[in-house]
């Protein structure tokens, strides 16, 4: 409601972006920068239109890998999160390892995964899970843990079973946290897929970008970036929407 | 126990004791929180525990509900206990109706039956028409009434109310006190009520246990012997002021 009263709030970033694009176009045109150094915004859009079929096909593959990896990450995060919440020993053993594991650079692991599992989809999905699983799982575990003691006591006074307490209290309580973890994961999602594809593969927008770069077709590289950004923004918006629906009681 | 024998309970309506504590003590490490606390609550009675903050009132409650074990003494509780706090503890993601029926659902009552039971009482707590709202949409007083009905449905036998109106503004609070008296009358509930508000205790109670602070010891057991017909009239009774002064001196 309050947003509709002041639509200008959303206008600011759009205007700022527009200004940058106009400036970029002007510089490229006026200084006559060659396309293999820096394509202009119009070059980028033209490349996108010209090669839309190919780009769409590659993006499709990337999205498929991403969806698979994302769902797998969520499932794994839930399994491990619930285990860590239910068994103190599991949490104590795994939580620190999980955090330290995030310091391992994904970009170095990827070629090894490719050596092990080939150029197909598996190593890509694995890289996505490595990147996305962590923020989801940690936010979920923190959410379970943050449940107010008074509520826990209340459920104990009602002689609620562990499963009931989980379903009626812990799970809904953790949803707020879960969705913020999911949003962080979503911002990394497409990037993780592309990092994996970049280092070896047969299809996917990352593969397409490597080929375009090697051919000095920077306009196509920029067109790919544009698509990736758009896809990511849509993805985050969708998650935001689902999250707001799932935690609608917060905004009231 | 001796104290109880000195002052025989006069308000006991049916005579059966639902809660009986005999020289109960509790300490957390070095700190002694409660010492030799003896009290009892009879069926249908409204009993208050009045004490300053830090007198271990809430610890006492947690022991009666079984959330905490007692270190010393004996404790007998016959009947199921419903527990209500200053925080309404409604689940914000459930509607008022789902919140109220939660304890019944946890016990395995089917949804339809649970709703019917809540529906029969929802008028009395003034929440008709708000069944499908979320707690975030309710006022503080309404939330406490929803919480009260939930507690009552969880167990109408014994209700433990731990400063239920502590977080409300004074106007809402006095409205809620009147409401509580009406509801107790019509529900016939047994209530053990914690408060640090002297006037509130005198207004609502049949009997009052005055607790001292740290360690909590029962200083005095008082029977409120005036305004028995309609407790609401106690507010206008000069005896209320006299009793208030007497209690103030105790604390």
User: Is A250 in Cβ contact with B136 (below 8 Å)?
Assistant: yes
- CATH number, domain A49-247, options 1.20.1050.10, 3.40.50.2300, 1.10.3720.10, 1.10.287.130: 1.10.3720.10
Over 70: is that where the pLDDT of B76 sits? yes
Q: Using a CB–CB cutoff of 8 Å, tell me whether B154 touches chain A.
A: yes
The pLDDT-based confidence of A185 (bands split at 50, 70, 90) is very high
The chain A residue lying nearest B91, using CA atoms, is A169
Confidence (pLDDT) at B156: 66
* Gap between the terminal Cα atoms of chain A: 11
- Rounded to an integer, the average pLDDT of A81-99 is 90
The pLDDT-based confidence of A211 (bands split at 50, 70, 90) is very high
Task: Count chain A–chain B contacts defined by CB atoms under 8 A.
Answer: 46
- Rounded to an integer, the average pLDDT of A32-36 is 87
Q: Specify the higher pLDDT residue, A122 or B20.
A: A122
User: Is A158 in Cβ contact with B134 (below 8 Å)?
Assistant: no
Q: Where are the alpha helices (DSSP H) in chain B?
A: 2-6, 57-64, 96-107, 111-121, 140-154, 170-187, 198-204, 238-250
- Rounded to an integer, the average pLDDT of B64-84 is 80
CATH of domain B1-80+188-251: 3.40.50.300
Residues 6+ apart with CB under 8 A from A247: A175, A176, A179, B93
Angle between helices A106-117 and A122-145 (to 10 degrees): 130
Please, is A45 exposed, middle or buried when counting C-beta atoms within 10 Å of its C-beta (0-12, 13-18, 19+)?
A: middle
Over 90: is that where the pLDDT of A120 sits? no
* Residue in the block written with tokens 């913020």: A180
The pLDDT-based confidence of B185 (bands split at 50, 70, 90) is confident
B203-248 per-position pLDDT tens digit: 888 888 888 877 777 777 777 777 777 777 777 777 777 777 777 7
Distance from CA of B117 to the nearest CA of A (A): 17
- Rounded to an integer, the average pLDDT of B16-26 is 80
Confidence (pLDDT) at B106: 86
- Residue A59: how many other CB atoms lie within 10 Å: 21
Over 90: is that where the pLDDT of A137 sits? yes
Query: Which residues in chain A are contacts of B67 at CB distance < 8 A?
Result: 153, 156-157
B93-118 per-position pLDDT tens digit: 998 899 989 888 888 888 888 888 88
Residues 6+ apart with CB under 8 A from B49: B39, B57, B60, B192, B193, B194, B195, B208, B209, B211
> Quick one: what percent of chain A has pLDDT higher than 90?
59
Confidence (pLDDT) at A223: 93
When CB atoms are compared, the residue of B66, B87, B102 closest to A168 is B102
Over 90: is that where the pLDDT of A129 sits? yes
* Gap between the terminal Cα atoms of chain B: 21
Confidence (pLDDT) at A239: 92
Rounded CA-CA distance B175/B184 in Å is: 14
Over 80: is that where the pLDDT of A6 sits? no
Where along chain A do its domains lie? 49-247
A53-84 per-position pLDDT tens digit: 999 999 999 999 999 999 999 999 999 999 99
> Quick one: what percent of chain B has pLDDT higher than 70?
93
Query: Which residues in chain B are contacts of A247 at CB distance < 8 A?
Result: 93
């Amino acid at each position: 409601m309050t947003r509709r009263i002041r639509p200008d709030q959303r206008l600011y970033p759009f205007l700022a972006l527009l200004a940058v694009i106009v400036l970029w176009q002007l510089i490229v045109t006026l200084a006559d920068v060659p396309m293999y150094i820096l394509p202009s915004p119009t070059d980028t859009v033209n490349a996108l239109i010209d090669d839309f079929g190919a780009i769409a096909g590659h993006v499709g593959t990337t999205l498929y890998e991403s969806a698979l990896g994302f769902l797998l990450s969520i499932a794994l995060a839930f399994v491990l999160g619930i285990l860590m919440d239910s068994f103190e020993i599991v949490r104590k053993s795994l939580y620190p390892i999980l955090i330290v594991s995030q310091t391992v650079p994904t970009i170095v692991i990827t070629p090894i995964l490719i050596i092990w599992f080939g150029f197909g989809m598996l190593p890509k999905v694995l890289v996505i899970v490595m990147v996305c699983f962590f923020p989801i799982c940690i936010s979920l575990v923190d959410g379970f843990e943050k449940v107010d003691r008074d509520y826990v006591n209340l459920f104990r006074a009602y002689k609620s079973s562990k499963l009931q307490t989980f379903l009626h209290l812990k799970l809904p309580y953790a949803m707020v946290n879960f969705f913020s973890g999911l949003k962080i994961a979503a911002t990394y999602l497409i990037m993780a897929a592309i990092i994996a594809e970049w280092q070896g593969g047969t299809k996917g927008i990352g593969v397409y970008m490597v080929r375009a770069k090697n051919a000095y077709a920077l306009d196509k590289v920029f067109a790919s970036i544009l698509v990736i950004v758009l896809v990511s923004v849509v993805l985050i918006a969708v998650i935001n929407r689902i999250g707001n629906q799932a935690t609608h009681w917060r905004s009231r | 126990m001796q104290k109880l024998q000195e002052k025989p309970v006069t308000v006991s309506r049916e005579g059966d004791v639902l809660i009986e504590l005999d020289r109960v003590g509790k300490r957390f490490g070095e700190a002694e929180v409660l010492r030799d606390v003896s009290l009892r609550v009879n069926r249908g009675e409204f009993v208050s525990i009045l004490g300053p903050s830090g007198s271990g009132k809430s610890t006492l409650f947690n022991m009666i509900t079984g959330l905490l074990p007692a270190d010393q003494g004996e404790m007998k509780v016959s009947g199921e206990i419903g527990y209500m706090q200053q925080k309404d503890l409604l689940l914000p993601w459930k509607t008022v109706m789902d919140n109220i029926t939660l304890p019944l659902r946890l016990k395995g009552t089917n949804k339809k039956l649970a709703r019917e039971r809540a529906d029969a009482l929802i008028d009395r707590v003034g929440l008709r028409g708000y069944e499908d709202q979320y707690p975030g949409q309710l006022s503080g007083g309404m939330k406490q009434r929803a919480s009260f009905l939930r507690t009552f449905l969880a167990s109408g036998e014994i209700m433990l109310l731990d400063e239920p109106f502590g977080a409300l503004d004074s106007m809402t609070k006095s409205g809620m006190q009147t409401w509580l008296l009406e509801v107790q009358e019509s529900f016939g509930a047994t209530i053990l009520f914690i408060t640090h508000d002297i006037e509130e205790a005198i207004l609502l109670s049949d009997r009052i246990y005055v607790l001292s602070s740290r360690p909590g010891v029962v200083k005095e057991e008082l029977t409120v012997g005036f305004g028995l017909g309609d407790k609401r009239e106690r507010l206008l009774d000069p005896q209320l002021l006299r009793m208030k002064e007497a209690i103030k001196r105790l604390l």
